[in-house]
A and B are shown apart, each in its own frame.
Chain A
Amino acid sequence: AIQMTQSPSSLSASVGDRVTITCRASQGIRNDVGWYQQKPGRVPKLLIYAASFLESGVPSRFSGSGSGTDFTLTISSLQPEDFATYYCLQNYHYPYSFGQGTKLEIK
């Protein structure tokens, strides 16, 4: 099974900061990665699919990159509503697998 190693597990940042979250796959997975945002008590929300495609309605400050084994989610200028937990998900083949999550907190 493919393992997704996500880092950091937590991150403190300020409004306006640029932040990057990474996921590394245990084997090559082309660009078959999505990024999801989850706020407490809420359903996960898709931000990025196929590693770099912005889901409709998601602000352009979110971007994704990577291919093969290394993937990144970047938020160019943090807004108050961005403080949440972020997960990568590989959908290259079954079993799908999530990263461990990155909790983004206000500094």
Chain B
Amino acid sequence: QVQLVQSGAEVKKPGASVKVSCKASGYIFTSYSIHWVRQAPGQGLEWMGMINPSGGSTNYTQKFQGRVTMTRDTSRSTVYMELRSLTSEDTAVYFCAREEAEEDYFDCWGQGTLVTVSS
């Protein structure tokens, strides 16, 4: 079955970087875009950006421009989200989600990765 499995929880110090992975299975990896969404504690969902695993093209929301990089490794059917210069405001659960190809909705989500930024 279609599945996205994310890497485990991370604790980082302010100023550090974090790289979260999202491994896809059960479908053709290069046929569906992967999006990243985050949710700070007690807050709503925030769209961060996306990557097209086929060619590697990306689109980021302006808030994270220059601080986030999304990449993919097609040999491992895995996408990565790296966020740099972390602050306490980046403490959140980070989700990857697959975008259905025709109607553009998120039809499968990873389990979420908690990133805690604390000194």
Judge whether B103 and A98 touch: CB under 8 Å: no
Q: Which of B18-26, B46-54, B70-78, B83-91 contacts A (4 or more CB under 8 A)?
A: B46-54
Number of B residues whose C-beta is below 8 Å from A?
24
CB within 8 Å: A-B pair count: 61
Decide yes or no: A43 and B112 within 8 Å by CB, A94-B50, A95-B47, A101-B45 being known contacts: yes
- Contact indicator B106/A46 (Cβ below 8 Å): yes
Q: Measured between alpha carbons, how far is A44 from B27 in the docked complex, in Å?
A: 21
Q: Please give, as numbers and ranges, the residues of chain A lying within 8 Å of B50 by CB-CB distance.
A: 94, 96
B17 at interface (Cβ–Cβ under 8 A)? Answer: no
Asked whether any CB of chain B lies closer than 8 Å to the CB of A83, the reply is: no
Q: Tell me, yes or no, whether A73 is within 8 Å of chain B by CB.
A: no
Chain A residues with a Cβ under 8 A of chain B: 1, 32, 34, 36, 38, 43-44, 46, 49-50, 53, 55, 85, 87, 89, 91, 94-101
What are 27 A-B residue pairs whose CB atoms fall within 8 Å in the complex?
A1-B61, A1-B62, A34-B105, A34-B106, A43-B109, A43-B110, A43-B112, A44-B109, A46-B105, A46-B107, A49-B103, A50-B103, A50-B105, A53-B103, A85-B44, A89-B45, A89-B47, A89-B106, A91-B99, A94-B59, A95-B49, A96-B35, A96-B47, A98-B44, A98-B46, A98-B47, A101-B44
